Structure formats: C-alpha cells, structure tokens
C-alpha cells in the first residue's frame, strides 16, 4: 500500500462549496417547465433545495473519502501523520465534514417536504430561503476544518511515499557521510526528492530490483544524524515511525572524518540508533573508502574489503564495493523476509479443495 498525498485533491473553502451548490440549484430550477404557476414554483423550490443539498453532501463526502483512512494505513504512515499534523486533528476535521454532510442532507429533506405540503407560493420561497440559510450556517461551522485540511494537505504532500509491501532499507549516519550519494549509486533510476514537513532537510527515496523484489532506499536527514539531546519531540516521533518501516537499517561510518564528524561521535550515534530502532536488522558499512590512509590491502579487488570489525568498506566515487554491498544487503533482507509466499493473507477467501468442482 502506497499513499500518494499529491493525488489528494485540493479542499474547497466554504464560499466555493456554497457557490457550487447554489449555482447547480439555479440551473436545475431553470429547467422546470409547467404552465400552472403553483406547480411550477413548487417544483422549482423543491428542486433548488434538493439539488443544493445533494451537491454539497456529495462534495463533502467526496472530500472525506478522498483522504486516506487512518485505520487502514500502515503504522509508518500513521506515525508520520502524527509527527506532521497530528492524528487526532486529522480524524476530528474529517469527522466534521462528515457531520456537516449529514446535517445538510437532513435540512434539505425537511424543507423539501415543507414545500411539497403547501400551496402557498410565498411560503415555498420562504422554505427555500430557510434551507439556504441553514445550509450556509452549517458550512460556516466547518470552515475551520476546511482550512485545516487545506493546510494539512500542503504539509502531507511533502511526506515520503513508501510502499509498505516492498522491502525498505533505511540509511542512517552522521551528516555528510555519503547517504544520498550511496542511494544514487544503488538506485535503478533518479531518486525521488521530498522534504520532511518538520525539518528543512531533503529526503531521498530510491529503489533497485533484485531477487524479484523492489528494494526501497530511504535516507534520514535531520533524524538519525545527530545526538539524542538535540532532537525535538516531533523528530522523535518521526524516528519512532522508522521502527515500522525498515526491513534493514544501513548505518554509514566515515572513518576518514572528511564529513566533519569524528569517529567517536559517529560510534556514539551508532549506539543510539541501535537502541532507537530496537530489533530492526542493522548493517554497518564504512563509506569513502578511497580516503582511508592506508587503503585496505584488498582494495579494488573483486571481493568486498572489510575492517577488522567486519564492516564492509565502499567508495561511491570510485565505484568500489557498491555491488558487493548490494549483495550483502540482499542477504540481510532475505533473512527479514519471513513467511511462505504461497500462503494467502489472513481473511482471504479460498475455496476448500474438497468443495471445488474444478
């Protein structure tokens, strides 16, 4: 399941909704043709009330249905929404639109019945005006929700779009250790670039195909690249979201210290990341191997060079070790990919073989 926030339509404001509903109502009334004035006015007023009510009901419910349901989305997306705009506000404002839709339908039905039961032309007009006034009041009551959803949409469309059905590698490490460069080197195409709505950092999402799987690669700027005491509550919420995302966490170390972080600080960060991400599979890799002094003895050979601790060493600049790292990542990912691929998901309908006529 991949949520595409950019595909969620713009939310109309209150005056735009009312213009839409009332203009359709006028057009519907203009199509009425009856020689008897009482019957004609009754049909016109009833059609205006019903058309405006139906149009606004459909518009509001369409908005509700076009926004992804929190209860049906993966935990990663729920956590990202909580960090970006708040899940409670998300539910509350969508529920307000649903409430307004129901109220408008009720007002429309009540006033249409009043028109049907009277032969007084002036009273028919009064019923239509009453319906319009009450409908306008209902829309005014949810104007704050419409505004909130519009602003939230602008924030949410900058969220990373991750497919929960595909394995995902979360790439972590101190600033300037080569996370984005590695994603570009490993990716089949040009990585997507998004922004976390709660940081000024840019987010890169790439992918490559292996073993008939589509492997997603996500870097974590501003989240897993600095000490715990420097992170705010919103960033900690986003970090919690990563617990529900990664099939593998790849932590990059820059032993050359060319990125500005000394090795001790990087190792302390590695310990923090290990604790934060709990039982997630963790692979540590040394980047910028071409800057090491001295170079590993097997540097440039077909086999993947490693440190004394067993950490693989790569150089994106020279293209050394990148393919070996890809194979090593796949070994870790295949360990995480559990379950029998021939088993159907829980709740999936399957006819028992003994009942099949085939």
Architecture of domain 168-336 in CATH?
3-Layer(aba) Sandwich (3.40)
Q: Is it true that the peptide bond before 294 is cis, omega within 30 degrees of 0? A: yes
C-alpha triplet 289, 280, 90: angle, nearest 5°? 115
- Residue 259 structure tokens: 């990125």
Q: What are phi and psi of 131, to 5 degrees?
A: -60, -45
Q: What is the pLDDT of residues 286-326, one digit of tens each?
A: 999 999 888 877 787 778 888 888 899 999 999 999 999 99
Strand partners, 192: 205
The yes-or-no verdict on residue 203 having pLDDT over 80 is no
Q: Please report which confidence band the pLDDT of residue 210 belongs to, taking 50, 70 and 90 as the band edges.
A: confident
Q: What three-state secondary structure class fits 148?
A: helix
How confident is the model at residue 316, as a pLDDT? 92
How confident is the model at residue 172, as a pLDDT? 85
How confident is the model at residue 269, as a pLDDT? 86
How confident is the model at residue 204, as a pLDDT? 76
Q: Please report which confidence band the pLDDT of residue 197 belongs to, taking 50, 70 and 90 as the band edges.
A: low
Instruction: Provide the edge-to-edge strand list for the sheet that holds 202-210.
Output: 192-195, 202-210, 213-219, 168-173, 248-253, 282-286
Q: Which of 345, 295, 338 minimizes the C-alpha distance to 320?
A: 295
How confident is the model at residue 47, as a pLDDT? 96
Q: Is the pTM higher than 0.85? A: no
280 versus 103: the higher-pLDDT residue is 103
Q: Which of 309, 307, 308, 313 minimizes the C-alpha distance to 328?
A: 313
Q: What three-state secondary structure class fits 50?
A: helix
In the chain the first and final C-alpha atoms are separated, in Å, by 32
Sign of the CA dihedral 327, 328, 333, 336? positive
The most distant pair of C-alpha atoms in the chain lies apart, rounded to whole Å, by 101
Question: In which residue ranges of the chain is CATH 1.20.120.1190 found?
Answer: 5-156
Per cent of the chain over pLDDT 70 is: 83
CATH, domain range 5-156: 1.20.120.1190
Residue identified by tokens 């600049």 is 317
Q: What is the mean pLDDT of the chain?
A: 84
Contacts of 67 (CB under 8 A, 6+ apart): 8, 94, 149
Question: In which residue ranges of the chain is CATH 3.40.50.300 found?
Answer: 168-336
Q: Please report which confidence band the pLDDT of residue 202 belongs to, taking 50, 70 and 90 as the band edges.
A: low
Alpha-carbon distance 330 to 236, whole Å?
A: 28
CA-to-CA separations, 350 to 273, 323, 342, 355, in angstroms, rounded? 42, 41, 12, 11
């Amino acid at each position: 399941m991949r949520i595409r926030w950019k595909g969620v339509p713009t939310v109309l404001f209150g005056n735009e909704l009312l213009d839409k509903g009332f203009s359709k109502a006028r057009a519907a009334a203009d199509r009425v043709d009856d020689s008897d004035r009482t019957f004609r006015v009754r049909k016109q007023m009833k059609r205006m009330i019903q058309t405006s009510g139906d149009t606004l009901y459909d518009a509001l419910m369409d908005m509700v249905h076009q926004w992804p349901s929190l209860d049906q989305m993966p935990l990663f997306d729920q956590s990202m929404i909580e960090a970006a705009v708040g899940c409670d506000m998300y539910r509350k404002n969508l529920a307000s639109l649903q409430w307004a839709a129901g109220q408008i339908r009720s007002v429309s039905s009540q006033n249409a019945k009043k028109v049907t039961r009277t032969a007084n032309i002036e009273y028919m007009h009064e019923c239509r005006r009453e319906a319009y006034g009450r409908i306008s009041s209902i829309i005014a009551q949810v104007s704050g929700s419409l505004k909130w959803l519009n602003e939230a949409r602008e924030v949410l469309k900058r969220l990373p779009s991750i497919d929960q059905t595909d394995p995902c590698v979360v790439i972590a490490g101190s600033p300037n250790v080569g996370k984005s460069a590695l994603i570009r080197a490993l990716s089949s195409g040009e990585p997507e670039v998004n922004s976390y709505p709660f940081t000024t950092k840019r987010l890169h999402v790439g992918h490559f195909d292996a073993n008939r799987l589509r492997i997603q690669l996500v870097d974590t700027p501003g989240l897993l690249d600095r000490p715990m005491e420097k992170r705010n509550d919103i960033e900690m919420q986003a970090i919690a979201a990563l617990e529900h995302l990664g099939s593998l966490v790849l932590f990059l170390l820059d032993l050359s210290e060319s990125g500005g972080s000394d090795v001790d600080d990087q190792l302390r960060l590695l310990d923090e990341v290990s604790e934060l991400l709990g039982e997630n599979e963790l692979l540590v890799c040394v980047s910028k191997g071409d800057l090491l002094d001295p170079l590993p003895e097997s540097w440039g050979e077909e086999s993947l060079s490693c440190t004394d601790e067993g950490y693989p060493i790569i150089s994106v600049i020279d293209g050394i070790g990148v393919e070996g790292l890809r194979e090593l990542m796949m070994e870790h990912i295949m360990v995480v990919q559990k379950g029998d691929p021939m088993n159907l998901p829980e709740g999936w309908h399957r006819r028992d073989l003994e009942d099949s006529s085939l």
